[in-house]
């Protein structure tokens, strides 16, 4: 432990990562450049205040560590952006104009941080930056005083406005080569290969006056390069301040801890006097009794741990191979997609589902998959596309359905079009459902179904969670129009408050709920199931309720601001 603690200011670090530094004896203050605000809807404009948190006494710190990769978002609530009082100089709010629905405060917050860092760097100090890609943002201030308000001029700032950097161009990748010649830093970086870089940097140069040529600035040290030789990590000496720029490491907390305890004391011994004074005690000649045995025990444990990790990696790979059909459902096209749909159909219990190109020799365009259930025939066309479906693509299955009806001399032939739409995008970011009102109505009129592979993916998890049964799911495949396995869910109401972890307040919307019922919520595309243990209205326990604000005790915790649903009863089409 250190007698006189080194003061570190971290910006936008997770608590667990800060704790790693505190446990090493550092005095750590965690600040923030603010979280991105997300607006549900803006009709005209909104005004927000900056929520950055920088220590006023930054000049007293020896180390500043900035994590530029802050993906945290929070929703905008107007009451959180009001000032308690307005002083004589006035206050500033920032205008967000429709149709914008995101406000990123970090570039303007970092701009205000710049002068503090100038003061910080006037003495021996260390600045460590985990770099994001360069970007700029426009800000529109409004200055509010007791006598009124006025709009200020537009301000353009970048997320790198807090210091001077040797910026080149944004570039994203995960492969790097260690080029530093410092042995301890090299060893550390070789232990942390899981990284992502977002920005490249120029090599700083100076003029050799004797030779009149440009040479590398001796204050600049290249640390990491990408596969094309672009610089993605470097250090630079600014008079008293030493800057280190790194990419983002998967285990940023552990990397920072080891850099501060193993590398920084050697590079900056004046800053780390207490840490480095007795470093010679680490030499084997000065080990304490039993230390060598413990080091050997640690080495054996590391070996055992690495072997266990390799075993788990093999299990992960085997698990991927077993369930890869789920990823194929939402990423693939052509034969791979047809195979994935066929797999889940058989998993659902359609044992006779088959690929028609394996059994047909007619040469005529056939359906991709055919199955039968309860004397009904279902013909299925499967398509994976980058966009959404044209009318002709949605209706192609209708021609095949009528040809089958004529061949089989039966009216019990059903058609279904299954599409993996916008397949290169994350499924939650896609247009769901991807069909127009006209396409859905046309499918209803011609008695055929429209379905997405995303809904099949969700169905798998819903069945695994006990939301639906395979039998209930099979019935839905013969529906007309948009086939959505969750479309018949009955809305109970919205959770408007939480009394404790398992007791919620719900504004019921007319659907009856009883003690013992199972209720459902949808969070990030997936359903969760809960059981109702008790119901209260006006502080009185009741067996059921359907209107008004109601207290409900559940069997496990539930989030606030979600919608409660009840499961429908599926009825087979005659």
> Is the distance from CB of 374 to CB of 572 less than 8 angstroms?
yes
Q: According to the CATH classification, is domain 490-566 in 3.90.550.10?
A: no
pTM above 0.85, yes or no: no
For 477-502, what is the mean pLDDT? Answer: 88
Given this model, what pLDDT does residue 210 score? 80
With H, G, I as helix, E, B as strand and everything else as coil, classify residue 230: coil
Quick one: angle between helices 291-331 and 453-464, nearest 10?
130
Instruction: Kindly report the backbone phi and psi dihedral angles of residue 24, in degrees, each rounded to the nearest multiple of 5, phi listed first.
Output: -90, 0
Quote the CA–CA distance of 40 and 489 in Å, as a whole number: 24
Quote the CA–CA distance of 194 and 188 in Å, as a whole number: 12
Quick one: angle between helices 334-348 and 291-331, nearest 10?
100
> pLDDT (tens digit, 9 = 90+) per residue, 50-106?
989 999 999 999 999 999 998 788 888 888 888 877 777 788 989 998 888 889 999
Tokens of 369: 């998959």
What does 82-124 look like in DSSP terms, one character per residue?
--S---TT-EEEEEEETT--EE--HHHHHHHHHHHHHHHTTSS
> Is the distance from CB of 512 to CB of 490 less than 8 angstroms?
no
Given this model, what pLDDT does residue 365 score? 64
Q: Is the peptide bond before 433 cis (omega within 30 degrees of 0)?
A: yes
Position 300 confidence tier, pLDDT thresholds 50, 70, 90: very high
Tokens of 340: 């994935």
Instruction: Kindly report the backbone phi and psi dihedral angles of residue 124, in degrees, each rounded to the nearest multiple of 5, phi listed first.
Output: -55, 120
- Residue for token digits 């409004």? 142
> pLDDT (tens digit, 9 = 90+) per residue, 506-538?
888 888 899 999 999 988 888 889 999 999 988
- Quote the DSSP letter at residue 212: T
Given this model, what pLDDT does residue 66 score? 97
Given this model, what pLDDT does residue 496 score? 86
For 560-572, what is the mean pLDDT? Answer: 72
With H, G, I as helix, E, B as strand and everything else as coil, classify residue 1: coil
HEC assignment per residue over 502-521: CEEEEEEEEEEEECCCEEEE
Cα atoms found within 13 Å of the Cα of residue 467, Cβ hemisphere only: 24
What does 114-180 look like in DSSP terms, one character per residue?
HHHHHHHTTSSEEEEEE-----EEEE-EEEEETTEEEE---EEEETTTTS---EEEEEEES--EE--
pLDDT of 411 strictly over 80: no
Burial (0-12, 13-18, 19+ Cβ within 10 Å), 94 = buried
* Complete edge-to-edge strand list for the sheet that includes strand 91-97: 45-48, 91-97, 141-145, 148-151
Q: Is the peptide bond before 9 cis (omega within 30 degrees of 0)?
A: no
Burial (0-12, 13-18, 19+ Cβ within 10 Å), 262 = middle
HEC assignment per residue over 450-505: EEEHHHHHHHHHHHHCCCCCHHHHHHHCCCCEECCCCCCCEEEEEEEEECCCCEEE
Query: In this prediction, what percent of the chain has a pLDDT beyond 70?
Result: 95
For 338-345, what is the mean pLDDT? Answer: 96
pLDDT of 249 strictly over 70: yes
CATH-assigned architecture of domain 328-482: 3-Layer(aba) Sandwich (3.40)
Q: Please report the sign of the dihedral spanned by the C-alpha atoms of residue 129, residue 131, residue 132, residue 135.
A: positive
Among 322, 344, 324, residue whose Cα is nearest residue 473: 344
The domain locations on the chain are 7-165+233-286, 328-482, 490-566
Q: Please report the sign of the dihedral spanned by the C-alpha atoms of residue 559, residue 565, residue 569, residue 572.
A: negative
Quote the CA–CA distance of 191 and 104 in Å, as a whole number: 34
Position 180 confidence tier, pLDDT thresholds 50, 70, 90: very high
> Is the distance from CB of 144 to CB of 258 less than 8 angstroms?
no
pLDDT of 281 strictly over 80: no
Instruction: Kindly report the backbone phi and psi dihedral angles of residue 313, in degrees, each rounded to the nearest multiple of 5, phi listed first.
Output: -60, -40
Burial (0-12, 13-18, 19+ Cβ within 10 Å), 339 = middle
pLDDT of 396 strictly over 70: yes
For 390-395, what is the mean pLDDT? Answer: 92
For 29-34, what is the mean pLDDT? Answer: 93
Position 172 confidence tier, pLDDT thresholds 50, 70, 90: very high
Among 488, 501, 499, residue whose Cα is nearest residue 549: 499
Q: List % helix, strand, coil for the chain (3-state, nearest 5).
A: 30, 35, 35
């Amino acid at each position: 432990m250190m007698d006189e603690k080194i003061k570190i200011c971290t910006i936008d670090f997770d608590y667990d990562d800060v704790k790693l530094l505190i446990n090493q004896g550092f005095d750590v203050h965690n600040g923030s450049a603010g979280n991105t605000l997300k607006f549900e809807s803006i009709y005209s404009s909104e005004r927000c205040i900056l929520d950055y948190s920088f220590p006023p006494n930054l000049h007293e710190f020896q180390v500043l560590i900035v994590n530029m990769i802050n993906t945290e978002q929070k929703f905008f609530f107007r009451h959180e952006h009001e000032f308690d009082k307005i002083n004589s100089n006035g206050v500033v709010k920032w205008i967000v104009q429709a149709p914008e629905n995101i406000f990123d405060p970090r570039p303007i917050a970092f701009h205000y941080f710049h002068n503090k860092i100038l003061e910080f760097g006037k003495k021996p100090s260390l600045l460590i930056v985990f770099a994001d890609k360069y970007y700029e943002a426009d800000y529109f201030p409004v200055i509010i005083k007791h006598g009124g308000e006025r709009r200020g001029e537009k301000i353009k700032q970048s997320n790198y406005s807090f210091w001077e950097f040797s910026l080149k161009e944004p570039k994203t990748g995960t492969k790097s080569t260690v080029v530093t010649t410092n042995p301890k830093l090299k060893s550390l970086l070789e232990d942390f290969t899981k990284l992502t870089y977002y920005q490249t940097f120029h090599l700083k140069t100076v003029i050799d006056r004797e030779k009149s040529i440009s040479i590398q600035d001796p204050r600049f040290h290249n640390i990491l390069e990408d596969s094309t030789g672009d610089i993605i990590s470097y250090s630079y000496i600014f008079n008293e301040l030493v800057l280190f720029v790194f990419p983002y490491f998967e285990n940023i907390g552990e990397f920072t801890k080891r850099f501060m305890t193993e590398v920084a004391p050697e590079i900056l011994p004046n800053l780390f006097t207490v840490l480095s004074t007795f470093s010679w005690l680490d030499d084997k000649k000065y080990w304490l009794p039993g230390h060598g045995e413990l080091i050997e025990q640690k080495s054996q444990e590391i070996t055992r741990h690495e072997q266990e990790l390799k075993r788990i990696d093999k299990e992960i790979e085997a698990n991927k191979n077993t369930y890869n059909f789920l990823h194929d459902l939402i990423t693939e096209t052509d034969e791979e997609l047809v195979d994935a749909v066929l797999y889940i159909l058989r998993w659902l219990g359609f044992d006779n589902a088959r690929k028609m190109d394996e059994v047909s020799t007619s040469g005529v365009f056939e359906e991709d998959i055919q199955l039968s259930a309860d004397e009904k025939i279902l013909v299925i066309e499967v398509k994976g596309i980058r966009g959404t479906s044209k009318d002709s693509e949605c209706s192609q299955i209708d021609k095949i359905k009528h040809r089958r009806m004529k061949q089989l001399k039966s009216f019990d032939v059903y058609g279904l079009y299954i599409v993996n739409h916008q397949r290169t995008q994350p499924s939650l970011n896609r247009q769901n459902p991807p069909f127009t009102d006209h396409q859905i109505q046309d499918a209803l009129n011609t008695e055929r179904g429209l379905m997405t592979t995303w809904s099949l993916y969700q169905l798998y998890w819903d069945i695994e969670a006990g939301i639906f049964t395979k039998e209930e799911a099979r019935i839905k495949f013969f529906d007309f129009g948009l086939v959505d396995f969750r479309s018949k869910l009955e809305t109970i109401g919205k959770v408007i408050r939480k009394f404790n972890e398992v007791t919620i307040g719900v504004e019921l919307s007319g659907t009856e709920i009883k003690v013992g019922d199972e209720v459902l919520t949808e969070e990030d595309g997936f359903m969760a199931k809960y059981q109702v243990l008790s119901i209260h209205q006006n502080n009185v326990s009741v067996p059921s309720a359907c209107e008004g604000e109601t207290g409900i005790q559940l069997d496990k915790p539930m989030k606030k601001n979600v919608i409660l649903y009840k499961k429908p009863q599926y009825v087979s089409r005659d």
